[in-house]
Amino acid sequence: MRFTRAAACRSLVGCALALTLTVPALAQPRPATVLDLAAQQKNLSTFVAAVHTAGLDDTLKAAGPITVYAPTDAAFAKLSDADRSALLNDPARLKALIMGSITNNLVVMHDGDTWVTSGSIASAGGRDLVFGTDGERSTVGGAHVVQTDLRADNGCITTVDKVLLP
């Protein structure tokens, strides 16, 4: 196959354009804190509001490392309207719930082909978070894992499909 000078130039321009479009996406910095990261997630708005109500912004902005097992908006929606309203309007209960969903360690749920499928770890609220499986799905505290290992500079978030009530 023979390249002409024009074909070679088009190839080089195409490669340069592809790199120009790809590099900014790869170079995006990680969010500074797990709270910043949670606020960027469309399915964690209730959790972020709960953090604010509980007065735990500084906890999720701390140096870390921390891991947060954050219930999705759909998880909060599974609660009855009365229970959800009572919970979201009670800063003390929210604080217990959120502290019970945080560990003061970086826990990577999925690393290559390896998943955390057993064991437990103490939460910042003093209760044990137990890891397991339900069929093919990983669980934390009986809740199914929705998305794992969303990374921030001070730790990570794993989203779950159930509110981990204290």
Q: Which domain holds residue 51?
A: 30-160
Domains contained in the chain, number: 1
User: In this structure, what token pair is assigned to residue 104?
Assistant: 């003061």
According to the model, what pLDDT value does residue 137 have?
87
pTM of the predicted structure, to 2 decimals: 0.80
> Considering the domain boundaries, does residue 14 fall inside one?
no
> Considering the domain boundaries, does residue 19 fall inside one?
no
> Considering the domain boundaries, does residue 66 fall inside one?
yes
**pLDDT over threshold 60, residue 135:** yes
Which amino acid is located at 149 in the chain?
A: D
Backbone angles phi, psi at 21, to 5 degrees: -80, -30
Please compute the mean of the pLDDT values over residues 95-122 and round it to a whole number: 85
Closest CA to 94 of 166, 45, 38, 36: 166
> Considering the domain boundaries, does residue 13 fall inside one?
no
> Considering the domain boundaries, does residue 40 fall inside one?
yes
| CATH number of the domain bearing residue 145 | 2.30.180.10
> Considering the domain boundaries, does residue 114 fall inside one?
yes
> Considering the domain boundaries, does residue 16 fall inside one?
no
> Considering the domain boundaries, does residue 1 fall inside one?
no
| pLDDT tens figures, 2-42 | 545 544 445 544 444 444 444 444 556 667 899 999 999 99
Q: What is the DSSP letter of 123?
A: -
Collect all residues with Cβ–Cβ distance below 8 Å to 96 and sequence separation of at least 6.
Answer: 125, 166
Closest CA to 164 of 106, 49, 79: 79
Of 25-39, 60-74, 92-106, 148-162, the one with minimum mean pLDDT is 25-39
Q: Please answer whether residues 54 and 95 qualify as being in contact, where contact means their C-beta atoms are separated by less than 8 angstroms.
A: yes
